[in-house]
Amino acid sequence: MIPEMIKKNIANKMNDSKKNDFYEMEKCSKWIDAHNLNKVCLQFPDNLLSDSVEIALRLENYVNKKVYILGDTSYGSCCVDEIAAQHINADSIIHFGHACLNPTIRLPVFHVLPKQEIDIIEITNKFRLNFIDQFERILFFYDIAYAHKTESIYKILNPIYKNLIFTSLNCTSNVEFTDNKDNSSTIILGRCFKLDKEYKLEDYVAFFLGNDGRTFITLAMTISAKKWYYFDNNIIEYKILNTSWLKRRRFVVEKLKDAKVVAIVVATLGIKDYLKIITMIKDILKEKKKKSYILSVGKINPEKLANFPEIDAFVAITCPENEIFDSREFLKPILMPYEVELAFNISREYYTQYCMDFRQILPGGINYIDFKTSTDSDISLITGNLRNYDENASYINKMNTLVISNTSDIVAIGKAGAEFLNNRSWKGVEQRLGKDAVHAAEIGRYGLPNCYENEPILQKKNDE
């Protein structure tokens, strides 16, 4: 019989080997050595943080260098957190788990993509049964969890279909076959492809290897393919447009048109061109005579934004896979940059496709259109009031001006957040100089907040 101690050692070695393969220790160490990196940060999603210390120690043994763990992400696990890494002047990041693959601007990144098993024979057979025409133009997308299976699928389907294009991923990862190697490719939502000459996206059918989750919905809403299919529960399904979601988005666009004060919420500091889109949104709002503020509150939630009751609408600069646009818990509408253009750019028409990636509405993006605004007045579909009249025209260029009011309070000119604050009954901690009688300092409350020891009710009970 094999002693129990030997059995445990064998099991531990097997577990160690599986973890090394799962976290790609060898490929990570080769990437660090090849780029001569010294300060490497490891970014884990919440579900993998329990392994973070062990993996960091193992990687240190591989590379004989100190590595660091990013304990919490600034905005979301799918986005590379360059800001947190810069706190220790890191020179690189290794990102584990699901990733949105948004381009970064500061540090080199190595993605360790998750691996999910799938029956290659079954998926290829279902694909051939569904797409009978071997000359049909097809774009093949896939969830990053299936990237490690893509090469095998490509070898089976590529000889059969003459116009099948396999997309690649815009990253450097542990699955080299799927990494983008062509700088001339079109890049949308981290997916790279190069269409045949004289053909457009509308001429292709799109297929997604993965379920009907957030990644697929974001791709299907952004990329205007002729039809969209996805593979779920071993069945290829045709994507039916969610008209109720589009109706809700049309409603928030109308709310934005009615808004007088708009906040631009910066929910990313790492996605490339985020400063450009902020400037673009500010210019549009200024041209439409709307007061705008820029907010940075970290991860967006209803409680944080509820602290700004003077804001009529929020425009979120965030990752395309952020789910706040589907939430109904916010008190005020949350819009994406594309919807700002839908509201105010008369050159942009409503249609069923949506641009979830804000980089695509910037100059050079596939959804870019020259901005042209209308000065004609119209009627709000929500309030029935007249819009686009020049009530605030005299204030637009004076929003940075301060004046002294009759009550000796300094207030800002214009109908915006300052006026809202000035009219509130409670305005925060105030000095109230000359308004309250002078008296000696008194002892305040002390003890636990749920029952202060000098509460009048408690003192009365003690006296009795």
pLDDT tens sequence across 267-285: 888 888 999 999 999 999 9
C-alpha span between 112 and 344 (Å, rounded): 41
What kind and span of H or E run contains 57? helix 52-63
Largest CA distance in the chain: 95
Tell me the CA distances in angstroms from 174 to 36, 68, 82, 287, one per residue in order. Answer: 18, 20, 20, 47
Specify the domain boundaries for CATH 3.40.50.11840 within the chain: 4-112
Alpha helix (H) residue ranges in 158-226 = 214-222
pLDDT digits (tens, 9 = 90+) for 296-317: 888 899 999 998 988 999 999 9
C-alpha span between 68 and 86 (Å, rounded): 11
**pLDDT at residue number 230:** 94
Token couple for 48:
């993998």
Classified by CATH at the fold level, domain 120-238 comes out as Rossmann fold (3.40.50)
C-alpha span between 59 and 43 (Å, rounded): 13
- For residue 329, give the nearest of 362, 365, 361, 303 by alpha carbon: 303
Token couple for 127:
């694909």
Question: Phi/psi zone of residue 416: left (φ > 0), alpha (ψ -120 to 50 degrees), beta?
Answer: beta
- Residue 64, pLDDT > 70, answer yes
Residue 464 pLDDT grade (very low, low, confident, very high; cuts 50, 70, 90)? low
- Residue 115, pLDDT > 50, answer yes
Alpha-carbon Rg for the chain, nearest whole angstrom, is 28
Tell me the CA distances in angstroms from 78 to 100, 331, 379, one per residue in order. Answer: 5, 26, 41
C-alpha span between 76 and 46 (Å, rounded): 10
Specify the domain boundaries for CATH 3.40.50.11860 within the chain: 250-387
Q: With DSSP H G I counted as helix, E B as strand and the rest as coil, what are the percentages for the chain, rounded to 5?
A: 35, 20, 45
What kind and span of H or E run contains 151? helix 147-157
3-state secondary structure of 92: strand
Average of per-residue pLDDT across 416-427: 65
Token couple for 313:
């609408």
Judged on CB neighbours under 10 Å (0-12, 13-18, 19+), 23 is: buried
Least confident of 250-259, 337-346, 398-407: 398-407
Tell me if 206 sits within 8 A of 353, measured CB to CB.
no
C-alpha span between 91 and 106 (Å, rounded): 9
Backbone phi, then psi, for 279, in 5-degree steps?
-60, -40
Residue 417 pLDDT grade (very low, low, confident, very high; cuts 50, 70, 90)? low
Domain 250-387, CATH homologous superfamily name and number? Diphthamide synthesis DPH1/DPH2 domain 3 (3.40.50.11860)
Token couple for 54:
């062990």
What kind and span of H or E run contains 235? strand 235-238
Tell me the CA distances in angstroms from 168 to 116, 137, 176, one per residue in order. Answer: 18, 17, 10
**pLDDT at residue number 459:** 66
Query: Strand 138-142 to strand 164-166: parallel, antiparallel, or no bridges (unpaired)?
Result: parallel
What kind and span of H or E run contains 403? strand 402-404
**Predicted structure pTM score:** 0.80
Classified by CATH at the fold level, domain 4-112 comes out as Rossmann fold (3.40.50)
pLDDT digits (tens, 9 = 90+) for 363-373: 988 889 998 88
Least confident of 57-71, 208-222, 250-264, 381-395: 381-395
As a whole number, the mean pLDDT across the chain is 84
Token couple for 293:
């503020």
Extended strands (E) in 54-183: 67-70, 92-96, 109-112, 138-142, 164-166, 168-169
Tell me if 247 sits within 8 A of 241, measured CB to CB.
no
Q: Which residues contact 136 (CB under 8 A, 6 or more apart)?
A: 161, 163, 205
